[in-house]
Structure 1
Amino acid sequence: MTDRIDVTLGGRYTEETKHFSPEQYIAADRTGTLTGPGGTSCALIPANNPDCNLILPPDTATTKANEFTGSASIAYRAADGVMVYASYARGFKSGGFTQRIFPPEPVIPSFDPEFVTTYEVGTKLELLRRTLRLNSALFWSDYSDLQIILNDGVAPKVRNAGKARIRGVEVELEAAPARWLRITGGLGYTDAEYRALDERAAGITLGSALPNTPEWTANLGASLSLAEGPLGELRLRGDWSCKSGHYKDAINTHLLKQEGYSLINASIAWASPDERWTVSAGATNLTDKAYLLSGYADPVAVGVVEGAFSRPREWFLRTRLRF
């Protein structure tokens, strides 16, 4: 718009169609809940399931989405190295089908798209003769038709069962106090809560925590150039990050709560004078921390809670050639 004001507008129209034709059969009934031919119990109507061995009807289900989503932002350069901005955007996550089913059901289960409208204001600063870059942002996101994973029988099912709000603040910095030193860091605070739930969200209340949404996140890293000469450059890198406690499932299962934890990585690298060759060695998860990546709980129908844990401490050796 002017030398100091930029305006960006965007729009996207999405037309999406998905089909699902289930071909899932019961090879053997070890649950005692089904019957064979001529029996009196059958999950699907006999015309569609005469042998009582179909998981879902032999039909084709369809979901459609025809959505226009847009975005807008304005940025103002208040001074050299000082910018403030505001943005708006709307997006959606596709709908689909729940395909892991048991016991059999008479209708193919599907779910609709999830929508989010997000707002953000922030600053981007370059200070101290451009040796310090400091970015900050306040964000607010409203979710509707929230896709929530909950158990139904012995299998998880995705349902559009509520609304949620996520808001918070993020601060990032990058500093170069000396030619041989680079420092990066970040701090984030997130306030997430359900705003509305319906009867399909059984087991969740407005006071439940959203899964995989830690309240606090932080990171800090440093890169040092230890030696630079005609034989190349020797570099040392270290990183630290942490997350506060959070749950891995929607119903906030106690055994699937990951307490706060920190991770440390480190590496050393040599680069040739022309940067064509790089050789590096290092280690990840130096403290050998075991933390949950994901989890699943069915305490009622099956009585099981399971989780997938992180990779342990590992070391690596890499060689890279640019050509």
Structure 2
Amino acid sequence: MKAHTLALLLAGTTLLPVAAHAQSADPLPATNPSPDPTTGPATATENSDGQVSNDGDIIVTAQRREQSILTVPIAISAVSGNALATKGIANSAALASAVPNLQVSSPYGNTQPNFSLRGISVANEYNSNQASPIGVYIDDIYLASRTAHGMGLFDLDRVEVLRGPQGTLFGRNTTGGAINFITKAPALSGNEGYAEAGYGNFSTYTAQAAIETTMVENQLALRISGNYAKGDGQIENVFAGGRDGNSQNTLQGRAILRMRPGDGPLDIKLKIYGGRDKGSQAAIHGLLPFRSGLGFFQTNENRLGLNRTEAYGASATIAYELSPALTFTSITSRDGGKQNLQQAADGSPLDVLDINWRSKFQQFSEEARLNYSTDRMKLVAGGFYGWDRTITDNTFNIGGALGPGVNGGFFQHYRQVRRSYAVFAQGDYNLTPQLVLTLGARYTWDRARYDDGYAFLFAGDVGGAQTPLATTVPCPGVAGTCAYNPALRFALPGRNNALTGRAALSYTTDGGVLVYASYNRGYRSGAFNGGGYTSSAGITYIQPERVDAYEVGVKGRYFDMLTLSAAGFYYNYKNQQVQDTRPGPVSFLVNAPKAEVYGAEAEARLRLSPALTLTAAAGYLHSTYKQLTLQSTNLDGNDLPFAPRFTAQGGVDITLFKNGTDGLTISPSVAYFSRQYFSPFNSENAAGTGQLNSELQQDAYAKVNLTAALTLDRFTFKAFATNLFNEKIYAYGLDLRGAGFPYNFLVPSTPRTYGGSVRVAF
């Protein structure tokens, strides 16, 4: 049986009980179940204080207060830290295997992942200065740099993925949704920790550890955790002496100090973190003559480089209970990082296109809010300020394209600074004990500047001295037509304001099933074209994206054994920000005037017995451009990139024996994705460009993973295999033929990996 057929059958089998719509007449038990280490979305787990909801459901903070996931009228998936380990999800780039209608892609491997939720993504835009349309947060702190999104996942309480625009309660630029990584914080009670070491194929060594100590019960505690991974390249490079692609070399650390003086109303969490990654670049399939005789998981590249990234920061989260009904919360953070990505982008032993992407990032944010709660009303109101800066120095070596025997390329520099101010409020009002009206609004002021911009054409070898030949920024004409002038600079301001918000009605039946309907408006601020280096004509500040989203959904528990959530949605999507390469060559950042997105998704968990649990999720997505022209080609009716029509995930947890806390559990899982395109062109080609866009897609595929965990007292022994059937998958593709290169840029995903680990809890 083919893997993708298995995926669909598994998902369908798990969702069959949905047809049994009768609700148990008995109320759910009020006792707290023990957290299940194998659970996935919408299942029992601990919240930040080590508590479990009375229903045994995962606790989320999607509306800036703690709620059971089954009572939140939002399409949300929540995956516990234990479930991440069970599913083999070690970094944020692998989240798509656990969440419906989520795609993750990148031209840089796990570095700078591009998230796509319900078809909304950065499309064919890949520059580091752009904000993600999917807001990414860690402990409610917005991460402006997309490089910081490629984090390894360790010592997490859970990950919350909110689908649909979050235009009220979440920071910035959330037209598509929000992903919130929530770390484990000290519980202020007792001492605990763990240490884990593992080994896998490709000589991969991993280690994780955490220790938590309570110095004063209920008042003062500290948790320190760390993560390490190092492994050889997973894509073989046949070039003699060449570095293999997709290697790992990651080190991360985090410390959280929690204080509650006198066990009183003040709760303070101070966090510091830091990490670095210097694995090799994602391998490239490029020039066709050098693909001859190679397997899918091989490349022939003379300059396969390293992806060096760093991220660090500190934050303070202060909550003060002013009264039983009113709490004040302040979240302050200062973060930074940098990237130095060496990308051989031709997949050949020739120096056709070698790029060095270098950027430094800094950001500061402050959010202050009040939470007011009574029996009839729940209100959140506050303000937000965010500042971030990107300083970029990129080098594009284009081999001998300047002339016979003359190597050269382009150098680019600019500084971008953005500021965002916002005020927001959202309230839930009980019209009746079962009917709730939600109204929310957010007003945002965004200000940005592109400064100190310059670029020039140079002669010189890769990594060698550069002899400037001509200024290209600022220069409005064709590259090479403006004399070199090192004093010239380009600057541009940008500003826009936006009113966004939410309105919803939700009704809870006597049996506890939640039914809701909502309207949300989302917004992504205007942007500068970070890809403009051959001419200043393409460096403009383009319009913001806007989404009007309509959604209906249902969530509930059936027969005390099945939990189910489902939603249907329709989006009116305007001004998606996409790249357009025009003769010159000049790269423009432009707006796609109009797109339409609609679809449905469902998640379910069925506990047939203490020894057998099934989980499944499925999504359908129809996302098309209603109006778009790129390179003078009409693309109306084309699919949005990274938006497969069908996705499905399924898994089974089989406990072969159980004796108290000891036991053996086997957990196979599968994730299916139908065909997706990597370009707004889909399979169309712009006239006169030499494009071959039919290459820029990935056919339907399924990835099967398998884990087995044996727990004996304090020890857990785990074995795993990911991409068990060694599916050949392209993770990303970019048109380079239209830019004048004789090939397209395609990034293969990693092959089968397997290994084991041992973990001791103390």
Q: What TM-score does the superposition give when structure 1 sets the normalisation length?
A: 0.85
**Aligned length in residues:** 311
Picking from 591, 595, 603, the partner of 1:164 is 595
Given the superposition, is the C-alpha separation of residues 156 and 281 from structure 1 closer, same or farther in structure 2, using an over 3 Å criterion?
farther
Q: Does 1:175 align with 2:614?
A: no
After superposition, the Cα gap between the structure-2 partners of 1:66 and 1:321, relative to the gap in structure 1 and judged at 3 Å, is farther
CA gap 1:144/1:178 in 2 versus in 1, 3 angstroms: same
Equivalent residue, structure 2, for 1:290? 728
User: Contact 2:454/2:474 (CA < 8 Å) preserved in 1?
Assistant: no
Structure 2 residue 738 is matched with structure 1 residue 307: no
Residue type at the aligned position of 2:704: I
More relative contact order, 1 or 2 (CA 8 Å, 6+ apart): 2
Q: 1:152 aligns with which of 554, 558, 582?
A: 582
Q: Residues 256 and 57 from structure 1, CA distance in 2 versus in 1: closer, same or farther, beyond 3 angstroms?
A: farther
Helix, strand or coil at the partner of 1:176: strand
What amino acid sits opposite 1:68 in the alignment? L
Q: Which moved more, 1:254-263 or 1:303-312?
A: 303-312
Matched, 1:90 2:529: no
CA distance in 2: counterparts of 1:303 and 1:142, whole angstroms: 37
Residue aligned with 1:99, SS: coil
| Secondary structure at 1:79 match in 2 | coil
- Per-residue deviation, residues 10-53 of structure 1 (Å, max 9, x unmatched): 222222222222132222399xxxxx9999x998279xx99623
Q: 1:258 aligns with which of 678, 685, 698?
A: 698
Specify whether residues 43 and 68 from structure 1 end up closer, same or farther in structure 2 by C-alpha distance, changes over 3 A only: closer
Aligned twin of 2:439: 9
Alpha-carbon contact 1:57-1:107 (below 8 Å) kept: no
State which drifts further: 299-308 or 214-223.
299-308
Which amino acid letter does the alignment assign opposite residue 304 of structure 1? Answer: Y
Matches within 5 A, 1:202-217: 202-217=632-647
- Alpha-carbon offset, residue 312 of structure 1: 1.1
Q: Aligned equivalents of 2:671 and 2:716: distance in 1?
A: 25
Pick aligned residue for 1:58 from 480, 489, 492 = 489
- Indicate conservation of the 8 Å contact 1:56/1:107, yes or no: no
Q: Judge conservation of contact 2:455–2:533 (CA < 8 Å) in 1.
A: no
* 1:222 matched residue in structure 2: 652
Cα separation, 2, equivalents of 1:44 and 1:84: 57
SS of the counterpart of 1:250?
Answer: coil
CA offset at residue 131 of structure 1? 0.3
Contact 1:131 1:175 in 2 (8 A): yes
- Are residues 55 and 309 of structure 1, via their aligned partners in 2, closer, same or farther at CA, if it must alter by over 3 Å? farther
Distance 1:55 1:104, change over 3 A: farther
Q: Does 1:77 align with 2:508?
A: yes
The answer to whether the Cα contact below 8 Å between 2:515 and 2:555 also exists between their aligned partners in 1 is: yes
Per-residue deviation at 1:70? 0.5
1:243 matched to 2:673: yes
- Structure 1 distance, partners of 2:525, 2:715, is 43
The C-alpha deviation readout for 1:124-145, integer Å capped at 9, x for no partner, is 13112x2011222110011111
Which has the higher mean CA deviation after the structures are superposed, 289-298 or 103-112? 103-112
1:223-250 CA deviation, whole Å, 9 max, x = no partner? 1222222572221111111111121111
Are the counterparts in 2 of residues 166 and 191 from structure 1 also a CA contact under 8 Å? yes
Q: Secondary structure in 1 aligned to 2:536?
A: coil
Q: Which amino acid aligns with 2:570?
A: W
Please give the alpha-carbon distance, in whole angstroms, between the structure 1 residues aligned to 2:606 and 2:591: 44
Separation (CA, whole Å) in 2 of partners of 1:38 and 1:227: 72
Q: Helix, strand or coil for the counterpart of 1:287?
A: coil
Inter-CA distance 321–249: structure 2 relative to 1 (3 Å threshold): farther
Question: 2:502–2:520: 8 Å Cα contact kept in structure 1?
Answer: yes
Across the aligned residues of Structure 1 and Structure 2, the Cα RMSD in angstroms comes to 3.1
Name the CA shift for 1:58/1:224 in 2 (closer, same or farther; >3 Å).
same
2:552 is matched by which residue type in structure 1? V
Q: Report the CA distance shift for 1:272/1:57 in structure 2 as closer, same or farther (over 3 A).
A: farther
Change (3 A) 1:311 1:196: same
1:283 counterpart SS class: strand
The Cα shift of 1:4 comes to: 1.1
- C-alpha separation between the residues in 2 aligned to 1:38 and 1:284? 50
Tell me the SS of whatever aligns to 2:695: helix
Distance 1:87 1:56 in 2: 54
**Residue 105 of structure 1: aligned partner:** 536
C-alpha contact 2:733 2:747 (8 A) present in aligned 1: yes
User: Does the CA-based 8 Å contact 1:150-1:250 persist in structure 2?
Assistant: no
Q: Hey, what's the Cα distance between the residues in 2 that align with 1:106 and 1:90?
A: 32
The residue aligned with 1:270 is 710
CA distance in 1, matches of 2:606, 2:725: 27
Structure 1 residue 319, shift from structure 2 partner? 4.4
**Which whole-Å CA distance do the structure 2 matches of 1:120 and 1:177 have between them?**
31
CA contact (8 A) 1:271 1:277 kept: yes
Unaligned runs of 5+ in 1: 31-35
Question: The residue matched to 1:163 in structure 2 has which SS?
Answer: strand
* Contact preservation (8 Å) 1:97, 1:111: yes
Structure 1 pair 61–263 and aligned structure 2 pair: CA distance change class (3 A): same
Give the drift of 1:107.
Answer: 6.0
Q: What amino acid is the match of 1:317?
A: G
| Distance of 1:262 and 1:163 partners within structure 2 | 32
The answer to whether the 8 Å contact 1:111/1:160 transfers is yes
- How big is the shift at 1:200? 5.4
Q: Retained in 2: the 8 A contact 1:63–1:112?
A: no
In structure 1, distance between residues paired with 2:544 and 2:761: 43
Q: CA deviation at 1:155?
A: 6.0
Higher strand share: 1
Provide the residue aligned with 1:33 in structure 2: none
Note if contact 1:151-1:298 (Cα within 8 Å) is conserved in structure 2: no
Indicate the residue corresponding to 1:134 in structure 2: 564
Measure how far apart 1:212 and its partner are. Answer: 0.9
Give yes or no for contact 1:210–1:250 (8 Å, CA) kept in 2. Answer: yes
Q: CA deviation at 1:105?
A: 2.9
- Separation of aligned partners in 2, 1:38 and 1:250: 35
Please tell me whether residue 143 in structure 1 is matched to residue 583 in structure 2. Answer: no
Task: Identify the match of residue 546 of structure 2 among 108, 115, 118.
Answer: 115
Match for 2:437: what amino acid? V
